C-alpha cells in the first residue's frame, strides 16, 4: 500500500535500519539515529541500482513521488537516473569553476606574485568594488559585450573615467585567460574599443622652475611633522625613485660606506643601483640612529611595516602644496629628469638609467643596473649640490655650461 504522510511522520527509529515501501520501487529508509531517507530501487542494463531522492522532512512524500516520476521517465527514455544525477553534479562543479569570479581569482593568483603589492591591491580593489558584484556569478562564457559595457559605464558615470579604462583592461586580461584555459571562446571586452570616453592622460604634478624648487626644499627643512617623514621629504627629490620604493626601503639594502642603495625595482622586477651623494649619506646616518634597529628605513606607526603610502603627499599638503596641480610624491622624478637634462646637461640615457627605465641600446639590453655608473655617480652628486644651491637661493636660473 502507498505510504501516507502520517505513516512517514510516525516512523520511529529501531535498533537496525529498516525500510517502508511506497510502491514502484520507492521506499523510506529509517536509520537507528532517526534519519529518514527516500530511496529508489531500479534496474538499468540488468543491474540493480539505488538512487537517493532526498531526506525527510526537507523532501516531503509528495516531493519524493515527483522525483520518482522524473526518474522513471528517464528510465523509459533509456537514461540511467543515477548517472544523470552524477553528471548534473559534475556540471554544477564545472560551472562553478567557470564563473567570471572563479576565472578572475585564478588569473589574479597566477599574476599577483609578479606584481608590486600596491599594484595587486589596486587591481583586486577594482574587481571587488566595480566588477564582481555584477559579473562575478555569471558563467564567463555566457557574458556578452553589452554586459561588460554596463559595468564600465557604471564606473564612468561616477566620474572615475581612468578607473573605467583600467577595469576594461583588466577584464580583457581575464577574458583572454579564460580563452587560453578553455572556458570562453572570445574576449568580448575587445568589442568595446572606443565605447568609453577617451581617457585624457595627465602627468604627475611636478615643479621644474628652479626658484620654486628652492622654495619647496626650504619648506621641507622647516617641516614640523615627524623626523621620519621630514627625512623622507628631504630624500625624495635627492633620490627621485618611485614613492613606493622610497617608503619601503630597507636598511639591509644600503651600504653607506660604499655610498650605494641596491634594491629591486617594483615595476620591472629588475635590480637597481642608486649612487648616494654626500648629502644623502648624511641624512641617512642621522636617520639610522633613530630607525636603524628596525627593518624599514621609514617605519610606520607599526614598526614592523613601512610608513603609509599617503605619508609623502599628506606632508606636501600640510606644507600647502596641491598634490594634483603642483607637486606629488611621484613628481620628483619628472623634476629631476627635466632639470638634469635641460639645465645640468646630463645625457638623456644616463638619466633614464638612473630612473630605472627600460632603455634599449644597440646591444639589445633593456636595462643594466651598472650601465653609465661612473656618469651616474657624478650626476647624483651634481644633482645634490645643485639642489643645495637652489635651497640657499643662489642664482642658478641659467642652464649649466656642462
Which residues does the annotation mark as catalytic?
242, 267, 330, 333, 357, 367
DSSP character at residue 15: S
Phi, psi of 366 (to 5 degrees): -80, -40
- The total of other beta-carbon atoms located within 10 Å of residue 103's CB is 21
Q: How far apart are CA 177 and CA 163, in angstroms?
A: 21
The beta-carbon contacts of 195-204 under 8 Å, at least 24 apart in sequence, are: 195/149, 195/152, 196/152, 196/153, 196/156, 196/161, 196/164, 196/165, 196/168, 197/156, 197/161, 199/161, 199/162, 199/164, 199/165, 203/334, 204/328, 204/330, 204/331, 204/333, 204/334
Task: Give one DSSP letter per residue of 23-63, joined into a string.
Answer: ETTEEEEE-TTS-EEEEEEEEETTEEEEEEEEEETTS-HHH
The cell 576565472 sits on which residue? 103
Q: How far apart are CA 249 and CA 282, in angstroms?
A: 17
* Helices 227-239 and 373-391: angle between axes, nearest 10 degrees: 120
Q: How far apart are CA 252 and CA 165, in angstroms?
A: 39
> Which residues are within 8 A (CB) of 90 and not within 5 positions of it... i.e. 6 or more apart?
none
Q: Are 156 and 197 in contact (CB under 8 A)?
A: yes
Amino acid at each position: 500500500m502507498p505510504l501516507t504522510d502520517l505513516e512517514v511522520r510516525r516512523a520511529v527509529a529501531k535498533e537496525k535500519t529498516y525500510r517502508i515501501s511506497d510502491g514502484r520501487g520507492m521506499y523510506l529508509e529509517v536509520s537507528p539515529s532517526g534519519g529518514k531517507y527516500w530511496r529508489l530501487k531500479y534496474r538499468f542494463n540488468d543491474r540493480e541500482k539505488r538512487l537517493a531522492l532526498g531526506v525527510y522532512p526537507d523532501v516531503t512524500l509528495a516531493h519524493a513521488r515527483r522525483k520518482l516520476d522524473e526518474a522513471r521517465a528517464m528510465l523509459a527514455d533509456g537514461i540511467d537516473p543515477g548517472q544523470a544525477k552524477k553528471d548534473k553534479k559534475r556540471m554544477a562543479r564545472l560551472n562553478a569553476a567557470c564563473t567570471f569570479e572563479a576565472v578572475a581569482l585564478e588569473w589574479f593568483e597566477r599574476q599577483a606574485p609578479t606584481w608590486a603589492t600596491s599594484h595587486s591591491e589596486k587591481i583586486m580593489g577594482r574587481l571587488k568594488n566595480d566588477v564582481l558584484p555584477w559579473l562575478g556569478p555569471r558563467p564567463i562564457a555566457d557574458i556578452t559585450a553589452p554586459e561588460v559595457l554596463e559595468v564600465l559605464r557604471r564606473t564612468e558615470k561616477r566620474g572615475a573615467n581612468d578607473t573605467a579604462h583600467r577595469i576594461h583592461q583588466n577584464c580583457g586580461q581575464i577574458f583572454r585567460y579564460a580563452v587560453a584555459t578553455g572556458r570562453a571562446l572570445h574576449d568580448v571586452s575587445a568589442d568595446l574599443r572606443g565605447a568609453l570616453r577617451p581617457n585624457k592622460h595627465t602627468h604627475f604634478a611636478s615643479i621644474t622652475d628652479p626658484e620654486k624648487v628652492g622654495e619647496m626644499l626650504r619648506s621641507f627643512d622647516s617641516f614640523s611633522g615627524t623626523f621620519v617623514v621630514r627625512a623622507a621629504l628631504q630624500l625624495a627629490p635627492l633620490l627621485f625613485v618611485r614613492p613606493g620604493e622610497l617608503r619601503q626601503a630597507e636598511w639591509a639594502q644600503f651600504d653607506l660606506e660604499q655610498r650605494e642603495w641596491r634594491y629591486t625595482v617594483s615595476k620591472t622586477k629588475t635590480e637597481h643601483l642608486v649612487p648616494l651623494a654626500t648629502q644623502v649619506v648624511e641624512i641617512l646616518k642621522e636617520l639610522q640612529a633613530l630607525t636603524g634597529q628596525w627593518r624599514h628605513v621609514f617605519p610606520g606607526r607599526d614598526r614592523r611595516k613601512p610608513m603609509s603610502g599617503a605619508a609623502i603627499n599628506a606632508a606636501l599638503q600640510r606644507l600647502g602644496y596641491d598634490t594634483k596641480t603642483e607637486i606629488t610624491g611621484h613628481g620628483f622624478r619628472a623634476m629631476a629628469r627635466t632639470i638634469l637634462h635641460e639645465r645640468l646637461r646630463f645625457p638623456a640615457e644616463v638619466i633614464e638609467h638612473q630612473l630605472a627605465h627600460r632603455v634599449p641600446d644597440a646591444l639589445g639590453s633593456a636595462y643594466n643596473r651598472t650601465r653609465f655608473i661612473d656618469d651616474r655617480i657624478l650626476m647624483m652628486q651634481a644633482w645634490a649640490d645643485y639642489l643645495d644651491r637652489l635651497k640657499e637661493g643662489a642664482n642658478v636660473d641659467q642652464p649649466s655650461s656642462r
